[in-house]
Structure 1
Amino acid sequence: MSAAPRTVLITGTSSGIGLAAAIAAARAGWRTVATLRDTTRADVLRKAAEEADVELDIRQLDVTDEASVTAAVDGVIADYGRLDAVVNNAGAGHVGTLENDSVAEIRKVMEVNFFGVLSVSKAALPHLRATGGRLITVTSVGGVIGQPFNEAYCAAKFAVEGYMESLAPVARTLGVSVTVVEPGAVATEFVNNVGIDLEAEIDAGPYTGTLRRYIDHAVGQFLDGSAQTPAGAAEAVMEALTTDLPAFRIQTTDWARTFVATKLADVDGSAVQDLTGAWVA
């Protein structure tokens, strides 16, 4: 009698890294529960699965709604009897700065990118303990290095990384592996997620010129070919999912490894300030 296939639940699969990871996991033989906040937006995901000739179990899950999270995780256990891995991928970008952002806007960024991750992880952990499973969270190089006009987003990603770094040794004592995956620039994600009309005239008050310089720098990464594809970033997710002993922190490109290394070796913070300050000077 063959063993039941391993089951992975992935959040935020309507596009980008989440979609690519869902396809990659299904290709690798995982029973893949691909979740998204709005299932009416699943057409692209379904088409990708059809083209890849793989089967996905597509379900609704809003990471900011605890009832939705509980229903999704409980539904997986009811239908399959096990949960072997979770990939926290759902998130949203945000560009702004403290003086111009409302506290409500900042709270919303934290709700999606931090508390949403915790909500899914908390619901999944008892089942991951039962299978000796894996808890994988897609963060960002912005979870290591704070970046201009990404204050709220980086704060949320810093919080995720701090939480998971603290949780990892505790979870390990009970057989659960915890990993964070840190992409750099990923094609299409910046323009789609930051909530700024790049064709419109940007008015950020006294910060207008500085923001324009940051936008020019950021968009340049997507226009010069240095941004990786979602499928490329998903390869790092698959490494965390399938490697015997995955590292806690996995970057998705050589550029991301070099960028993150700047911070990890920067005891007084001056190297990072010099680096990111040049983006807006």
Structure 2
Amino acid sequence: MSSTKTVLITGTSSGIGLAAAVAAARAGWHVIATMRDTAKAGALLAAAKDAGTTVEVRALDVTDPASVEACLAGLDRLDALVNNAGAGHVGTLEQESVDDVRAVMEVNFFGVLNVTHAALPLLRASKGRVLTVTSVGGVIGQPFNEAYCAAKFAVEGFMESLAPVAATTGVTVGVIEPGAVASEFVANVGLADDALEQAGPYAPALSAYLARTRDAFANAQTSQAVGELIADQLAAERPAFRLLTSDAARAFVGAKLKDLDGSAVQAMTGAWVAR
């Protein structure tokens, strides 16, 4: 049997997933790089070639259990899983339906569960690890990110609860918490061109939020930097449960951890939408 370890990474057509796939392959992993539409694998394959390595591309829709089963079919070994696939969403409850919120949960929460559930028997056999890319939005609720943060909070709670249980069988569970990252993820949040016109009483707050967000992402961490950190976590002998990927992320989450009554966080995020 080959001594090369295998990692499956979801959401690798762009951004953090692409960068993590290339970084892991360069570090010597056999990378199964998955995405919903393999026709979009060009950028990944080109990046891997430029890095002097290769990846195996497979189709995977994390929201479809049959797709997950088909993707993992035939694997006799899996040493690590990186749950990266996700979708951004900007909106507020009064102006969207519960089904809109449910769709965000399907991708960002239940999608993670679908893949992890299917992979755990293989990971238990290899005493492998699960790394899930969440967000600082899984620790601090952010204006106009209600559904997205709810999904990320759910992932954080699930993985924090799963970690000690999985550890009894030799499986390591951890989360990766980036802050602002310069990637196509930001461009795919589904905000319509006329969002401000349609925002009604929330227009001033949304305008302030969007201006603040543009400033935050002007100095965002690169996908490549996060991808390298994920590759490091795959190889770490004793990885921490939570990895914050930048000084900015550490400072942001630190504000929540010492804010016992929530007033400091509310003052901070409230300022983002102040008229």
Q: TM-score, normalised by structure 2?
A: 0.96
SS in 1 for 2:182: coil
- Answer yes or no: is the 8 Å Cα contact 1:8–1:84 preserved in 2: yes
**Worse-superposed segment, 7-16 or 231-240:** 231-240
Report the AA paired with residue 35 of structure 1. Answer: T
Aligned partner of 2:41 in structure 1 is 42
CA distance in 1, matches of 2:115, 2:137: 21
Do residues 97 (structure 1) and 96 (structure 2) align?
A: no
Number of corresponding residues: 274
Do residues 23 (structure 1) and 40 (structure 2) align?
A: no
Shift of 1:197: 4.3
Aligned partner of 2:112 in structure 1 is 117
SS in 1 for 2:32: strand
Instruction: Say if 1:232 and 1:104 are closer, same or farther in 2 by CA, change over 3 A.
Output: same
1:218 to 195, 213, 219: 213
CA distance in 1, matches of 2:113, 2:47: 29
Shift of 1:195: 1.2
Instruction: Say if 1:26 and 1:190 are closer, same or farther in 2 by CA, change over 3 A.
Output: closer
When the two chains are superposed, the root-mean-square deviation of aligned CA atoms in Å is 1.3
2:259 to 260, 263, 266: 266
Q: How does 1:166-245 map to 2 (within 5 A)?
A: 166-189=161-184, 191-197=186-192, 202-223=197-218, 226-245=219-238
- Answer yes or no: is the 8 Å Cα contact 2:15–2:185 preserved in 1: no
Instruction: Say if 1:85 and 1:190 are closer, same or farther in 2 by CA, change over 3 A.
Output: closer
Unaligned runs of 5+ in 2: none
CA distance in 2, matches of 1:54, 1:249: 29
CA distance in 1, matches of 2:48, 2:197: 39
Instruction: Say if 1:33 and 1:198 are closer, same or farther in 2 by CA, change over 3 A.
Output: same
Report the AA paired with residue 32 of structure 1. Answer: V
Identity over the aligned pairs, expressed in percent? Answer: 63
CA distance in 2, matches of 1:168, 1:142: 20
CA distance in 2, matches of 1:175, 1:202: 53
SS in 1 for 2:77: coil
Q: Deviations over 1:236-264 (max 9, x none)?
A: 21232111010000000011011111111
SS in 1 for 2:69: helix
